[in-house]
A and B are shown apart, each in its own frame.
Chain A
Amino acid sequence: GQNIDQPTEMTATEGAIVQINCTYQTSGFNGLFWYQQHAGEAPTFLSYNVLDGLEEKGRFSSFLSRSKGYSYLLLKELQMKDSASYLCAVRDPAGGSYIPTFGRGTSLIVHP
């Protein structure tokens, strides 16, 4: 089975830094994705981690620790437009599929 946990909601101030955590318990592992989804819109890809460590891409960074079943998405210099839901998705090939399974998402509210 698969279990992916994220906080339901977080709030932060414009210009600050926020870290969104994701923990997972899966039979197997073949990569972890982060997606951003604005209200009423489709998810858009942010990052993909398959090896341990930090991947930096502009204001967004994603970290993975496979031994701990843990990842985080770090958002720096927050902007109002970063208010969205952030979805963690894990690929677990144990079930015979490489399609990622999504967590419930973390709703981030950025206020002035």
Chain B
Amino acid sequence: EAGVAQSPRYKIIEKRQSVAFWCNPISGHATLYWYQQILGQGPKLLIQFQNNGVVDDSQLPKDRFSAERLKGVDSTLKIQPAKLEDSAVYLCASSLVVSVAGRYNEQFFGPGTRLTVL
């Protein structure tokens, strides 16, 4: 079974530039997540999609970050304009179904995109 695919793997930009990341989840997975992982910290959820609808984007800095999941499959995360503190690894994950009480649903993570903002 193919895993979660992400591209690019690495990106270096200057502050105030724009950048976009792409994610292709595991086939058949309805739920897709974007996480930000700053060096030395655990992943922090930015946004969760169920099919092509947003379930939770409470921690997404909406003044500069945006995400979409057209047709409920691939997703893109954009930062415009980037700041120095956006330097991090951006992880995409997917799961079969949305998280609900009492049900364990494993999240499968992609390899991530390492962003460096200079």
Contact = CB atoms under 8 A, between A and B. Distances in A.
Interface string A75-93: 0000000000001010101
Interface string A23-59: 0000000110000000011111100101000000000
Main secondary structure of the interface of B (DSSP, over half): loop
B98 to A, nearest CB: 8
A38 B33 CA distance: 20
A98 B101 contact: yes
A21 B44 CA distance: 20
A70 interface: no
A99 B99 contact: yes
Interface residues of B, number: 27
Contacts, number: 55
A33 B100 CA distance: 15
Given A30-B101, A93-B101, A102 B42 contact: yes
A66 to B, nearest CB: 14
A19 B12 CA distance: 38
Interface in A2-28: 4
A50 B102 contact: yes
A104 B104 contact: no
Given A42-B91, A102-B43, A104-B40, 5 more contacts: A4-B42, A89-B42, A93-B101, A97-B99, A105-B40
3 shortest interchain CB distances as A-B pairs: A102-B42, A98-B99, A42-B109
8 contacts: A41-B112, A45-B108, A50-B104, A89-B42, A97-B48, A98-B99, A99-B45, A103-B42
